[in-house]
Structure 1
Amino acid sequence: MNPDSPDIFMSGHCIDGRVLYPATGYLVLAWRTLARSLGVVMEQTPVIFEEVTIHRATILPKTGIVQLEVRLMPASKRFEVSESGNLAASGKISTMEENTLNDFRTQPTDSVIGNSEKEDFLLSDKDVYKELRLRGYDYGPTFQGIIESNSRGEVFWCILGEKN
């Protein structure tokens, strides 16, 4: 991967010894394509993904390019992401209605419900990435944004480049 590429951070997404295109990247591509088709700003357009299937991994070569194609089927709200004609990911995508977004914003969190009585078990960033490495996820520095996690499922993370 070219060191001057804006996507150089993906070289840190190493799983079982292979640098793979992140699965969330397929979702971002579908979201960006939907936003462009609607003439709206992606970052200001919340969406809902449903029935998402990752069909295959896309290996990122050290040199050369990978071309991904996104197809939207507006009538069914389905999307497909393909690489070299092979289906990599598919699912449904739709914009989130304002009332659904408001419902989402007002959902109670665990701390409101009363899980605060439990004592937290904390994992530092080193512990988190050691556990992931033992499972084959050898994330490089460009893919290590987690600062800490706890037994309540809360993950504290940073914007990459700002981690101390």
Structure 2
Amino acid sequence: MTVVVALKTDTGMYMASDGLTIQDHTTISSCEKKFQELFPNFWIGIGGLSSMKTLMRNGFEVPKHDGENLQKYLIKEFVPNLKEFMKNNEYLVNNENEPSRIESDMIICYEKNIYYLSNDFDLTPINNDYFAIGTGKLYAMTKLYGTGNIDPIPRLKKAIEASSHFDMACGGEIYIKKIF
């Protein structure tokens, strides 16, 4: 229950999120953003289980990118390592006759590119200059679409505010960071 946004502009790349966490029908205004830098210039935003964000920050080691094609690296190195990490920490959901999945989706920002990693580990490069995940994603993306003529920070703030206004699972502090 969240909203996480990535935005690419002529002046740089940004990530933003709300700060609300919901645990057992209780809302908690968190003091942590829902995106993080896993290694230099490799940022990830997580929508879904808040414990997954904490687990990744404190244990997931991103495999080294040796300069090969970025999408190939993400598919052949990053995703399998992430899947194994989730399996080892009992975050992988396995249902008969279905692919393994996690109970979260992710935005990856690396080398000024935006990727969407769905809960079944499908990696999609995003051609738009922005993307959002979480329950408030449609409100955020609609606001981003309609505000292309304003500066990035107020634009992101409006996107998170729209999600917080219309989606009861979004709210709390707004976190915005220029990442590149």
Give me the TM-score of the superposition, normalised by structure 1. Answer: 0.27
Which of 1 and 2 has greater Rg?
Answer: 1
More strand by share: 2
Give me the TM-score of the superposition, normalised by structure 2. Answer: 0.25
Comparing both chains, which one has the higher relative contact order based on Cα–Cα distances under 8 Å and sequence gaps of 6 or more?
2
